[in-house]
Structure 1
Amino acid sequence: MGAVVCRLLGMLVLVLGFVLFALTALTAAAPAQAQPADKRIALVIGNARYPKVPLDNPENDARLIANNLRKLGFDVNEQLNVNVLQFRRALREFARRVQEDDAIAVLYYAGHGVQIDGRNYLLPVDINLRDQEEVKDESVDIEELFLSRIEKARSHPRIVILDACRDNPFAGKTRNIRSAGGLAEMGARGTLIAFASAPGAPAEDGPSGRNSVYTKHLAVEMMVPGLEVEQMFKNVRVKVLRDTRERQLPWVNTSLTSNFSFNPQRNPPPAQEQPGREAARQPQVREPAGRRFEPNELEKQLERAQRELDAGRATAPPSIPPPAPPPQPAAKPAAQPPALPAPQVAALSPPASSTTPASAARKFLDRAEVEQLLVGKTHTLKDSTAGYLMRWDMRSGGLIYYNSQSIGNASSNGSGRWELKSDGSLCARFNPVPPSRLTDARRPDDGCWYFFRDGEKLMRAGAAAPEAQPQAEIVKIQ
């Protein structure tokens, strides 16, 4: 009897061991989401119920992002429609937690935001829309109250996401408020800052009662397993550009020193293409070899955004017919990869006879030629009299970004809108520059210009007349 009992006990132990082994193997093989080992904290704020200028979607946006972050293992503090005291208290407490816990931290804000004197202010729902100084006193300076306090935090990534500036809350409603369009560019050590739109440009709020176009795609992309955060924001940028027909260009400034994924995955299958990586599947375009300017983050972002936008259009048929061939040797087509050796000018050819007077041989470029040469590219202008340099990045959707550099190496950045007329003239109108950002570097004037070839040079003039004096020379196109 004792032998039978011992035999049964032995068999039971073997069965239990086999079951435990099978459960362990199934758990290890399951494609479940990897639980992040590091502590994760998040502050999510959505302000919509402004008494005079309400917004439709920030509450929905904040709830959507907060729910997704909770699913991804974040300890989320969700705040809706906060006044100035609640806003500042929440930011101070969150900054303290980031410093003390040394955790992965995410700050998300949806609502009104404005740029005044080159600084960004997020607006509580009890903001007083009467005077500029009162706006500064009664709103939240994101750099002062948060970014400056987390720069000394240690190695974990910090992500700041601002789906703000959905329209100008001061338009026609205030006095003495010189708020520039869009938010100003800013950065912090060890931090990625994502803007729903480019510096100086507004973000769209989206259909009423739903989500903004930016947050809609952000919520989807952050759930993709194993997707690295910088690639994630590139995917969002491509989708927002597509949905808005290039009216809205999401922006990212980053100084992260480590990789980060909202939804980390343990041992992702290498042979399978993961969903949600539309931007990663696009063909990559090499950076032009001739571009070497001072390290300016705005210019770097312009390059990145243009490469991604060009990659998204790489398979589309050309929309502009090639211009009629001139009497001189044909220029190189602009559709070739932009690997231009600096400092030569792209697609420029000398006229058939160099001895012909410039005024008699002057032929102004038509609309198709200007579009082929300049649209979708960055060109560098050298002023004919003052000698300063200015770079214009002309986007296909009508946006233009400039960087002006004076003789003393001071620089000024800004944005505006361009339009190409049927007579071949290029017209541009630029956004105002905040007073604190004024330097001896010139802001470009609004106006219209014509382009012509003078030997091997491409010149810009203010009128399409043989006697018109050239105002600037285009020294580089890329």
Structure 2
Amino acid sequence: MKKILLLLGGLTVHFLAGAQSPTVISAKSQPLKLKGEAPKNLPPVITWQSPGTDYLQVKQPAFTVSACVQSFEALKEHRVVVNGKTFGQQRGMKRLVCGEQVSQEVLLQAGDNVLQIMATNSVGTTTSTVRHIVYEAKKDTVIGQKRVALIVANSNYEKHPLKNPVNDGRSVREQFEKLGFTVTLLENLKLRETDQALEKFYSELDSNNVGLFYYAGHGIMADNQNFIQPTDADPSTEVDARYVCYSLERVVARMKTANPNGSNLVFWDACRNNPYRSWTRSAGQPVYTTINPPVGTLIVYATEPGKTASDGNENGLFTSELVNNIKEPNLDIFELIDRIDRGLEKRGFQQPPYIEGRLRGKLILNPVIKP
């Protein structure tokens, strides 16, 4: 029989022509080298490139995993597995001197991350050795971005008081804090206090944050604008509202200026019993108007134009569904809104949320990589 010598990462494996090859190949740190005729019935061999060591510490959540894969048979696919979750499952790979390259950007969770690569050809699948990456996340960051939230909840109006906004504010504060937001909750604000709170909020935003503003209370549509109604505001005409209330359009514009490259999100649970509908509008006209927010900003209203939002028992209906669903892992914001809509429908309420604007890419409020 003809003898074949295979050098695999410093490990010498002998073959005899016609004899069965080993069923397990353990990939080491060196590429595969051959002396003699190459055998045709081996699974792939994986050589790590990045991370280059068994343990690595990083300060950013995004990391590019790469390796070189050698195979005598045509490769079918490869996959990168982080904490038991697959990132990428591809067939086309770049040719290198050592074989074909696996390259995949992955999202790390805070703390220890376990990495492996799997490659498959017609003979079988090879799983790489394990590598660990420790992501040292800052306390105020989630997926690399600072998260800042301001909650304003107004209930104690002299005229037309509301039952649930303060309860709503406290409920969403608890959830936002669990999602990594630095949260400020303020209740029953007058106009001057509203202005001061928002100015402080804008100053806390940087150029690439997730900025979130949540408002529960009376909202007014006056002079083709949407307004937060402070607890001391009692406008007698639409023109007066411009001077004694705070414009939502102004909130959106200032968030965009303070956080131009990040994601700005507004939850507006303010389409409630509007005491001023008799000013100039007939009963069928909407209680707020379109803002057309800039790219990077999304406004989520509690209901559609022309409809009022129910106050509920302990929480407003919109906020109760928001609290129930926002904790769900790995939901994109639009999936979250759909969950809220379906939850209200199941409860028998025709109160679909209404959105304006668009973000850059996905916004996942509760990103979780499951082991």
Q: Could you list the per-position Cα deviations for residues 210-231 of structure 1 after superposition, in whole angstroms to 9, with x for gaps in the alignment? A: 0011001111211111111111
8 Å CA contact retained: 2:222, 2:239: no
Correspondence 1:255 to 2:358: yes
Distance 1:52 1:235, change over 3 A: same
Using structure 1 for the length normalisation, give the TM-score.
Answer: 0.46
Pairs within 5 Å for 1:294-333 = none
Quote how far apart the aligned CAs of 1:237 are. 1.4
Q: Distance in 1 between matches of 2:273 and 2:241?
A: 16
Q: Distance in 2 between matches of 1:195 and 1:74?
A: 21
Q: Distance in 2 between matches of 1:244 and 1:203?
A: 13
Quote how far apart the aligned CAs of 1:151 are. 3.0
Could you tell me which amino acid in structure 2 is paired with residue 252 of structure 1?
I
Pairs within 5 Å for 1:71-470 = 71-98=178-205, 100=206, 102-143=208-249, 145-152=250-257, 153-170=259-276, 180-190=285-295, 191-207=297-313, 210-245=314-349, 247-266=350-369, 268=370
Match of 2:170, SS?
helix
Q: Distance in 2 between matches of 1:211 and 1:72?
A: 20
Distance 1:93 1:235, change over 3 A: same
Q: Distance in 2 between matches of 1:154 and 1:141?
A: 20
Distance 1:136 1:154, change over 3 A: closer
Q: Could you list the per-position Cα deviations for residues 256-299 of structure 1 after superposition, in whole angstroms to 9, with x for gaps in the alignment? A: 11211111112x47xxxxxxxxxxxxxxxxxxxxxxxxxxxxxx
Quote how far apart the aligned CAs of 1:170 are. 2.5
Quote how far apart the aligned CAs of 1:182 are. 2.2
Q: Distance in 2 between matches of 1:147 and 1:107?
A: 9
Quote how far apart the aligned CAs of 1:201 are. 1.4
Q: Residue in 1 aligned with 2:8?
A: none
Q: Distance in 2 between matches of 1:216 and 1:202?
A: 16
Q: Distance in 1 between matches of 2:292 and 2:171?
A: 26
Quote how far apart the aligned CAs of 1:177 are. 7.9
Could you tell me which amino acid in structure 1 is paired with residue 232 of structure 2?
D
Q: Distance in 2 between matches of 1:154 and 1:133?
A: 31
Match of 2:183, SS?
strand
Quote how far apart the aligned CAs of 1:35 are. 4.7
Across the aligned residues of Structure 1 and Structure 2, the Cα RMSD in angstroms comes to 2.7
8 Å CA contact retained: 1:45, 1:79: yes
Match of 2:294, SS?
coil
Quote how far apart the aligned CAs of 1:114 are. 1.5
Could you tell me which amino acid in structure 1 is paired with residue 200 of structure 2?
E
Q: Distance in 2 between matches of 1:54 and 1:228?
A: 34
Q: Could you list the per-position Cα deviations for residues 14-63 of structure 1 after superposition, in whole angstroms to 9, with x for gaps in the alignment? A: xxxxxxx9xx999547xxx9953211100001000001110000000001
Could you tell me which amino acid in structure 2 is paired with residue 250 of structure 1?
P
Quote how far apart the aligned CAs of 1:101 are. 5.0
Q: Residue in 2 aligned with 1:39?
A: 146
8 Å CA contact retained: 1:104, 1:157: yes
Could you tell me which amino acid in structure 2 is paired with residue 40 of structure 1?
R
8 Å CA contact retained: 2:222, 2:241: no
Quote how far apart the aligned CAs of 1:117 are. 2.6
8 Å CA contact retained: 2:207, 2:262: no
8 Å CA contact retained: 2:269, 2:319: yes
Distance 1:178 1:115, change over 3 A: farther
Q: Could you list the per-position Cα deviations for residues 58-98 of structure 1 after superposition, in whole angstroms to 9, with x for gaps in the alignment? A: 00000111111111111111110000011122222222332
Runs of at least 5 residues in structure 1 that lack an aligned partner in the other structure = 1-20, 270-478
8 Å CA contact retained: 1:221, 1:235: yes
Higher helix share: 1
8 Å CA contact retained: 2:207, 2:260: no
Q: Residue in 2 aligned with 1:53?
A: 160
8 Å CA contact retained: 2:208, 2:263: no
Quote how far apart the aligned CAs of 1:241 are. 2.8
Q: Could you list the per-position Cα deviations for residues 352-398 of structure 1 after superposition, in whole angstroms to 9, with x for gaps in the alignment? A: xxxxxxxxxxxxxxxxxxxxxxxxxxxxxxxxxxxxxxxxxxxxxxx
Distance 1:41 1:112, change over 3 A: same
Could you tell me which amino acid in structure 2 is paired with residue 57 of structure 1?
N
Runs of at least 5 residues in structure 2 that lack an aligned partner in the other structure = 1-53, 58-82, 84-110, 115-136
